[in-house]
Amino acid sequence: MIENLIKQNLKETLEQLYNIQIAVENIALEQTKPDFEGDFTFVVFPYLKQSKKGPEQTANEIGEALKQKINCIASYNVIKGFLNLVIADSYWIDFLQKNSMVNNFGFATSQTNERILVEYSSPNTNKPLHLGHIRNNLLGYAVSQLLKSQGHQVFTCNLINDRGIHICKSMLAWMQYGNGETPQSSGVKGDHLVGKYYVLFDKQYKKEQKELIEKGLTEEQAEKQGPSILAAQELLRKWEAGDDETVAIWRTMNGWVYEGFDVSYKKLGVHFDKFYYESNTYLLGKEIVEEGLQKNVFFKKPDGSVWIDLTAEGLDQKLVLRADGTSVYITQDLGTADLKYTDFNCNQSIYVVGNEQDYHFKVLQLIVQKLGRPYANGVYHLSYGMVELPHGKMKSREGTVVDADDLMEEMINQAEETTKALGKTDGLTENELQHLYNIIGLGALKYFMLKVDPKKKMLFNPAESIDFQGNTGPFIQYTHARIKSVLRNANAAGLDFAFSEPDIKLSKVEKQLVVLMHNYPLVLADAAKSFSPGVLCNYIFDLAKSYNQFYHEHSVLKEANKNQQAFRLHICKLTADIIHSGFKILGIQVPERM
């Protein structure tokens, strides 16, 4: 990469001219702003104290030295303390010629020693996946693929929340109102069926609370004394005690949910190397609590509950085991953390969980540090903002969530309507059309979810996401199909892809497009380092925009100069390859034609 070459020579030049010692990684080299001539800009202001000269003289001295050292620097210009370097067209032409036929251009060519585990999805087995789970799954999958592109050894896992009071609520409602209903007897997908009973429980529980409040109880008393919640708590105690009948119902209903999840995951295009289940890991967590008591990391209150005091770290006291001996979420996560390290021996363990759990993961890391775990410093919470709808937040227990399966189906149907309205269905069979609608609908959903920085909350708008114009998945997919059409026609006409560099004239828009492609490895590295698929999304959008400008300003198939034509065919091929490669990392398919 030319950036690395420039930085290395800047390091040497600063040392030779001004005796400045600086590491290559600390040298800042920026893309030149569009208003100025140049490709890369080096700001000299931080070095004026050592150069003991004005900004213009310092920049000119560095620019002249670099021009002598690096053949591909055609010229430079100085604006105050900004040194703008102009790279010769021959460099960009040579780059395209060497890389347009390279497989996996942009990816690391060797493995690192980093072993990284990405935990994502983590659904509860009392309801189907919803819109918030979609963002979680897409983030987890895309981040894992980005990290793989950098040569890291990456593993993925899914911690299933298959125990606890929320599960018992669904179980209790099914036992009371289900009359033996099953997915087979009802024709309802298993996770949807169990979710139905979770909503039924909440309706009955609210009714009971209202009646108790009318009898004179406070709202807090009514919440604790409702017959349904008391029965669910008793069911949880029975489950933890291993009651055969309770465990059998739990296994049956969880089995229904897993079958439903599998269908949703397959449609969403995500997968996992390993599944963990809280029904197993909470026992390990209880053992860790005992260890922590012996090490004086935890303390026991008079009622028998176990806590950790984190006031010295700016937090508060945190419960790690209830007085009745039942575990809380942190107990389970402690057990899972140990198990994951045993299984994968990873340097880093990334938890993809919403920002509502920021406090929880601060506590988790502090606890494992105090317990002296070797993996403690590698615990990383990839915190992301919630997905909101035009009418507000979602609530599972009230049945107001946007179901993931329904949303995916809606997106596919909307893709069909939009594609037909735009007349983009000519020449395709019915099977090809159905496949196209799936690609466009799910691509629109995924791109819309991933283009927003994970840290930000987002408002999901299905109609906006399916647009064939603007920063959307379908716009980029259509650009890819357009390029593939050009390449098919070129091959059908027997056009030659070989070109000779001296005959190529690089226009402004051609150079802009080639420079963007040249930056792809840097974009992948940046997106992986920041755990932000949005960096890659917005880069691919810029690439697609730049290609469409090139397409409208320059002829490819009708270009008379054969060298220029071949050069443009290489532009087409590498652009299509990068869109395909980048979208594959994001879990998005691209059509060959549309």
Q: Which domains does the chain have, with CATH numbers?
A: 2-87 (3.30.1360.70), 120-398 (3.40.50.620), 440-585 (1.10.730.10)
Range with the poorest average pLDDT among 191-205, 221-235, 323-337 = 323-337
Please state, in angstroms and rounded to a whole number, the distance separating the CA atoms of residues 197 and 252.
14
pLDDT digits (tens, 9 = 90+) for 130-152: 888 999 999 999 999 999 999 99
Task: Give the pLDDT mean for 283-296.
Answer: 93
Beta strands in 330-439 (DSSP E): 348-354, 379-384, 387-388
> What percent of the chain has pLDDT above 90?
83
pLDDT digits (tens, 9 = 90+) for 529-568: 999 999 999 999 999 999 999 999 999 999 999 999 999 9
Q: What is the pLDDT of residue 390?
A: 67
Transcribe 94-156 into DSSP letters. Answer: HHHHHHTT-TTTTS-SS--S-EEEEE----BTTS--BHHHHHHHHHHHHHHHHHHHTT-EEEE
How far is it, in rounded angstroms, from Cα 482 to Cα 493? 17
The pLDDT value recorded for residue 308 is 97
Q: Yes or no: say if 334 and 368 are a contact pair by the CB < 8 Å rule.
A: yes
Identify the three-state secondary structure at position 307.
Answer: strand
* 321 bridge partner residues: 306, 327
Q: Is the distance from CB of 371 to CB of 288 less than 8 angstroms?
A: yes
**pLDDT in the model for residue 397:** 43
Look at residue 393 and tell me whether its pLDDT is greater than 80: no
**Which residue shows structure tokens 């909101």?**
388
Q: What share of the chain is helix, strand, coil (3-state, %, to 5)?
A: 60, 10, 30
Residue 179: its pLDDT value, please?
Answer: 95
pTM: 0.92
pLDDT at position 8? 95
pLDDT one-digit tens code per residue, 349-388:
999 999 999 999 999 999 999 999 999 999 999 999 988 7
Give per-residue pLDDT as tens, 28-80: 999 999 889 999 999 999 999 999 999 999 999 999 999 999 999 999 999 99
**pLDDT interval class at 400 (50, 70, 90):** low
Mean pLDDT score of the chain: 93
Query: In the structure encoding, which two tokens stand for residue 453, read together?
Result: 């920085």
The pLDDT value given to residue 398: 46
Please state, in angstroms and rounded to a whole number, the distance separating the CA atoms of residues 237 and 230.
11
Rounded Cα distance, 270 and 461, in Å: 22
Per residue, what are the HEC states of 196-243? HHHHHHHHHHHHHHHHHHHCCCCHHHHHHHCHHHHHHHHHHHHHHCCC
State the Cα–Cα distance between residues 466 and 414, nearest whole angstrom.
7
Tokens coding 340: 């994951």
Amino acid residing at 145:
Q
Kindly state the percentage of the chain with pLDDT values over 70.
97
The tokens for 217 are 């109880």
pLDDT at 516 over 80: yes
Distance between CA atoms of 246 and 172, rounded to whole angstroms?
10
Interatomic CA distance for residues 409 and 236, integer angstroms? 36
| pLDDT(441) > 80 | yes
256: which residues sit within 8 A by CB, 6+ positions away? 182, 183, 190, 191, 193, 194
What's the confidence (pLDDT) of residue 365?
96
